[in-house]
Amino acid sequence: MMMTPAPGSDAPASGRAGAARRRGAALEAAILDAGWEELVDVGYARLTMASVAARARTSEPVLYRRWANKDQLVLAVLDRYRATHQVTAPDTGDLRNDLIGYLTALSESLAGFFAIVAATSFSGLLAATGRSPSEMREEAMGVHLLPQTRDVYRRAATRGELDPDAVPTGVLALPFDLVRHDLLMSLEPLPAERIGSIVDDILLPLLRAHGAIDPGHAESRRRR
Amino acid sequence: MMMTPAPGSDAPASGRAGAARRRGAALEAAILDAGWEELVDVGYARLTMASVAARARTSEPVLYRRWANKDQLVLAVLDRYRATHQVTAPDTGDLRNDLIGYLTALSESLAGFFAIVAATSFSGLLAATGRSPSEMREEAMGVHLLPQTRDVYRRAATRGELDPDAVPTGVLALPFDLVRHDLLMSLEPLPAERIGSIVDDILLPLLRAHGAIDPGHAESRRRR
DNA sequence: TTGCCAAGAAAGTAAATACTTTCTAAAGTT
DNA sequence: AACTTTAGAAAGTATTTACTTTCTTGGCAA
């Protein structure tokens, strides 16, 4: 006696009513996409072969036929994402427009990638704490130290050294953003020269360019 | 018949020969420190109650008496780290020194914290791939797109619009660093105004301040 | 010293999850 | 139409790990 497995047992598969069983490259791509979504949604720690298979509407053995384990799968997912998200720099014949075009493309392309870094980092904690993802990130990444940064500028303003209103806020945040950025990239304290360069080559000239610093103020002069 | 548990069974405990059983706050601090190390070493995904207990040379029940589960423990670990790593801004009476002092303190204090973000993100993958942590990070975070960025400047140099040698490399990298930073913080593509501000309020004035841009070149002028 | 509380050892339970096996039936090929 | 390949369903095993229980003994206070 042959029993077919309950024809109309449930919602069959994708959008199509019948079945349309995928194979080969198409199936593989669907799995990798599902893996990406899973990574973004629940993070590496909570991603399982079963969860990816379910999201891709396929079964675990299909995954294991292709990748030996979870790590191999995740690597393949990351590779695919990178391969399908190449950033190209436009050539407009003008530095400003080149930069804006490229930075925009970069930003859009990489946003998703970084999202998984964060999801992967904190998703495990989110569930337990009831914090929102953004709350968690802000807490972890130090937005809470903004009040401190304001102090530095306020004191300088009190001394008459600086006119904070003369520069866009992005400029004032700049050195802290750069330190945070370097930390995230290198995971080590910044060399003293780099901090010096941020202050002397970047921030102070910029404050001067915006006319926010008294050019005669000796101490704020760039050395050498 | 009472059997004492094999007196010299192995290395007893910490540095001290005897035993010196810790209690209360001291023990708790040791556990949280061990939790931190574990987080940095193996990441959230691979941190287990057992691994933390082992590293702290105590036993699982001791952890469970204090924290209901792994997430609670990790939260306590993060809290302790933050509590014991407060950054203070020095007051030197001078903006430049204030900034350098504060950025240095910030950098040293946060380096460890960000280390766990990365470890937590990628540790699972490291074992499988044989890649080093820094390789993994560079690959993931896009150092590989540096060649592209050089193109933008090289073309501008070819056109005679820019003299790249006139500015420190940190200045040229600046806009890309900022985009990467914002992405890491917000996980969303940057608003067009922010990109405009990076280029018009920050990079271009800076290039001009360093004398790297032809002031007469119309296209590279800041608007309004 | 006596007694209480907490640490630590050992062992155990239950659930999640990695990974496998077997079989059936689609998809694509000749 | 016959055949090969591989998707997908179902079920099973083995390991890991969360979390508990019990008991012994050390640290500390009255």
Compute the average pLDDT of residues B3-31.
57
What DSSP element (H or E) covers A32? helix A24-46
pLDDT for the residue numbered B7 = 34
Q: What percent of chain A has pLDDT over 70?
A: 69
Whether B108 shows a pLDDT value over 80: the answer reads no
Q: Do A107 and B179 touch (CB under 8 A)?
A: yes
Compute the average pLDDT of residues A6-15.
34
pLDDT for the residue numbered B182 = 82
Specify the number of domains making up chain B. Answer: 2
Could you tell me how far CA B137 lies from the centroid of its own chain? 11
Taking residue A224's Cβ as centre, other Cβ atoms within 10 Å add up to 4
Shortest Cα distance from B89 to chain A (angstroms)?
A: 7
Residue A208: list chain B partners with CB under 8 A: 209
One domain, residues A86 and A165: no
One domain, residues A121 and A181: no
Taking residue A102's Cβ as centre, other Cβ atoms within 10 Å add up to 25
The enclosing domain of B86 has a CATH number of: 1.10.357.10
Residue B82, in any domain of the structure? yes
One domain, residues B184 and B101: no
Q: How far is the CA of A23 from the C1' of C27 (A)?
A: 8
The overall pTM is greater than 0.95: no
Residue A4, in any domain of the structure? no
Condensed to tens digits (0 to 9), the pLDDT of residues A22-73 reads 888 999 999 999 998 888 777 777 789 999 999 999 999 999 999 988 888 8
Domain of A72 in residue numbering reads as: 22-132
Whether B224 shows a pLDDT value over 60: the answer reads no
Asked whether A110 and B184 are in contact (CB, 8 A), the reply is no
Q: Which of B36-45, B46-55, B134-143 has the highest mean pLDDT?
A: B46-55
Asked whether B140 and B122 are in contact (CB, 8 A), the reply is yes
Q: Which residue has the tokens 């792994």?
A: B70
Q: Give the span between the Cα atoms of A56 and A47, in whole angstroms.
A: 13
Q: Which residue has the tokens 């995928």?
A: A22
> Is B75 part of the contact surface with chain A (CB cutoff 8 Å)?
yes
Asked whether B177 and A181 are in contact (CB, 8 A), the reply is yes
Q: Report the residue of B39, B99, B146 to disrupt the A interface, i.e. the one with the largest count of A CBs within 10 Å.
A: B99
Residue A213, beta-bridge partner list: A162
Condensed to tens digits (0 to 9), the pLDDT of residues A102-130 reads 778 777 777 766 666 666 555 555 555 55
pLDDT for the residue numbered B139 = 61
> pLDDT confidence of B107, banded at 50, 70, 90?
confident
pLDDT for the residue numbered B220 = 45
Q: Which of A22-36, A181-195, B119-133 has the highest mean pLDDT?
A: A22-36
Whether B98 shows a pLDDT value over 50: the answer reads yes
pLDDT for the residue numbered B20 = 74
For residue A189, give the amino acid letter.
P
Q: Name which of B125, B201, B204 is nearest A168 (Cβ-Cβ).
A: B201
Q: Give the span between the Cα atoms of A210 and A8, in whole angstroms.
A: 71
> pLDDT confidence of A18, banded at 50, 70, 90?
very low
Asked whether B58 and B27 are in contact (CB, 8 A), the reply is yes
Q: Which of A151-155, B8-12, B48-52 has the highest mean pLDDT?
A: B48-52
Q: Among the residues of chain B, which ranges form H helices?
A: 24-42, 49-55, 60-66, 70-83, 95-129, 133-141, 146-158, 169-186, 192-197, 204-209
Compute the average pLDDT of residues B41-56.
86
Nearest to B152 by CA among A178, A110, A101: A101
pLDDT for the residue numbered B32 = 93
Q: Give the span between the Cα atoms of B152 and B85, in whole angstroms.
A: 41
pLDDT for the residue numbered B69 = 86
> pLDDT confidence of A188, banded at 50, 70, 90?
confident
Nearest to A188 by CA among B133, B106, B111: B111
Question: What rounded mean pLDDT belongs to chain A?
Answer: 75
Residue A14, in any domain of the structure? no
Which two three-digit tokens encode residue B222? 């800041």
Whether A160 shows a pLDDT value over 80: the answer reads yes
Q: Which of A1-5, A149-153, A216-220, B194-198 has the highest mean pLDDT?
A: B194-198
Single out the residue in A85, A109, A132 at which a domain terminates: A132
One domain, residues A91 and A58: yes
pLDDT for the residue numbered B210 = 92
Higher pLDDT pick, B89 / A10: B89
One domain, residues A85 and A184: no
Nearest to B44 by CA among B77, B68, B74: B74
Single out the residue in B108, B130, B152 at which a domain terminates: B130
Single out the residue in A132, A166, A191 at which a domain terminates: A132
Residue B198: list chain A partners with CB under 8 A: 103, 170
Nearest to B121 by CA among B46, B183, B70: B46
Whether B23 shows a pLDDT value over 60: the answer reads yes
